[in-house]
């Protein structure tokens, strides 16, 4: 847990980040890989030499692949073609077999990474499929680790938790634990324009009209993940690709923290909330920064990539996040 000293100075309250890049696999996903694999071993579902399969935007894959190297399992990953080249190379470096699948198809399409992973799982009898979007152990992993850590590290004084919502495991598990300690803690999820999550939370409806391609990896979804406990979350805020990219770059330059794309999304979400007057002098806000910036060198930390996306300089930007179709 680190205090933010510059990027939130204009906002009332104290702001802290749970900076998950310091985990051995450089992201929050170490927690679910360790928890789910340990549990499968204890339940007798894994023996040495077995295969672990997962669908992943990259970070879970890296954590699972790392655990497989250490524990002697084979690792097969179905990855979206939206994932950065850096992430895919990292997975292969960790010895994983990687299947790159199109991101612009429905989750039920046989080419989607969900269907590819399911097919491989069926073909290999001595395998487990982690299935992070639909596995309640994803929530439990954070209920037993992230939630208690946040509670203890803030001495129970936090007023808000702001976290990105992809599978929803991080926010849901942390929220369940924190709300048990103090139901007044406000839990706010960050969603992307192009994702169905916020609308589903507000209306209970899955609205296909909300779906269009966006660039942030690991945040938002085109389906409703069972690993999200919508009841535990108070509200969602949507952020754009462009604002999130600039916010991540700003965190590196002003705080000296080399964060991933969704950390920028989380900071931008906090700023939008601040514009609404969400925070007061007595707010103690914890923001989760899920991973490390090194995985985005060819994306948000490349000036050429930023220019190719048509992302203008921060000075020219509007103060309020807008959807980019």
Query: Which residues contact ligand PMP by CB under 6 A?
Result: 57, 59, 164-171, 218-219, 260, 262, 290-291
Query: Checking DSSP bridges between strand 235-239 and strand 186-192, what pairing results, if any?
Result: parallel
User: CA-to-CA distance for 292 and 245, rounded, in angstroms?
Assistant: 14
Least separation in angstroms between residue 304's CB and ligand PMP is 22
Least separation in angstroms between residue 315's CB and ligand PMP is 27
15 vs 173 by CB, closer to ligand PMP: 173
147 vs 260 by CB, closer to ligand PMP: 260
Least separation in angstroms between residue 140's CB and ligand PMP is 12
Residue closest to ligand PMP (Cβ): 218
Cβ burial, residue 22 (10 Å; 0-12/13-18/19+): exposed
- The reply to whether 29 belongs to the active site is yes
CB neighbour burial string for 273-286, b if at least 16 within 10 angstroms, e if fewer: bbeeebbeeebbbb
- Eight-class DSSP state of 319: S
50 vs 96 by CB, closer to ligand PMP: 96
Write phi, then psi, for 237 (nearest 5 degrees): -130, 140
Cα 84 to Cα 20, 128, 216, 261, distances in angstroms: 19, 26, 10, 11
Q: Which of 18, 29, 87, 299 is catalytic?
A: 29
Write phi, then psi, for 278 (nearest 5 degrees): -65, -30
Least separation in angstroms between residue 139's CB and ligand PMP is 9
25 vs 271 by CB, closer to ligand PMP: 25
Q: How far apart are the first and last CA of the chain?
A: 35
User: Where in the sequence numbering do the catalytic residues fall?
Assistant: 29
């Amino acid at each position: 847990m680190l205090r933010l000293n510059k990027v939130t100075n204009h906002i009332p309250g104290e702001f802290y980040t749970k900076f998950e890049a310091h985990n051995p696999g450089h992201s929050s996903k170490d927690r679910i890989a360790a928890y789910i694999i340990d549990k499968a071993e204890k339940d007798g579902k894994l023996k040495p030499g077995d295969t672990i399969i997962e669908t992943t935007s990259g970070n879970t894959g890296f954590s699972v692949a790392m655990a497989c190297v250490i524990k002697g399992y084979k690792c097969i990953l179905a990855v979206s073609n939206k994932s950065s080249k850096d992430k895919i190379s990292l997975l292969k470096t960790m010895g994983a077999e990687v299947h790159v699948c199109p991101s612009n198809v429905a989750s039920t399409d046989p080419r989607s990474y969900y269907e590819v992973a399911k097919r491989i799982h069926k073909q290999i009898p001595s395998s487990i499929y982690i299935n992070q979007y639909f596995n309640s152990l994803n929530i439990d992993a954070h209920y037993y680790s992230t939630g208690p850590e946040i509670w203890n590290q803030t001495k129970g004084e936090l007023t808000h938790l702001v976290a990105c919502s992809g599978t929803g495991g991080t926010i849901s598990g942390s929220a369940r634990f924190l709300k048990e300690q103090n139901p007044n803690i406000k839990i706010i999820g960050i969603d992307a324009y192009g994702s169905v999550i916020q609308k589903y939370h507000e209306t209970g409806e899955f609205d296909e009209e909300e779906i269009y391609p966006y660039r942030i990896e690991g945040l938002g979804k085109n389906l409703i993940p069972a690993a999200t406990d919508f009841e535990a979350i108070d509200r969602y805020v949507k952020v754009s690709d462009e604002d999130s990219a600039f916010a991540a770059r700003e965190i590196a330059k002003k705080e000296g923290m080399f964060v991933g794309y969704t950390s920028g999304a989380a900071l931008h979400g906090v700023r939008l909330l601040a514009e609404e007057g969400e925070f007061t002098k007595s707010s103690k806000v914890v923001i989760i920064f899920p991973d490390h910036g090194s995985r985005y060198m060819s994306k948000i930390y490349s000036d050429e990539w930023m220019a190719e996306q048509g992302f203008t300089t921060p000075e020219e930007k509007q103060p309020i996040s807008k959807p980019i179709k």
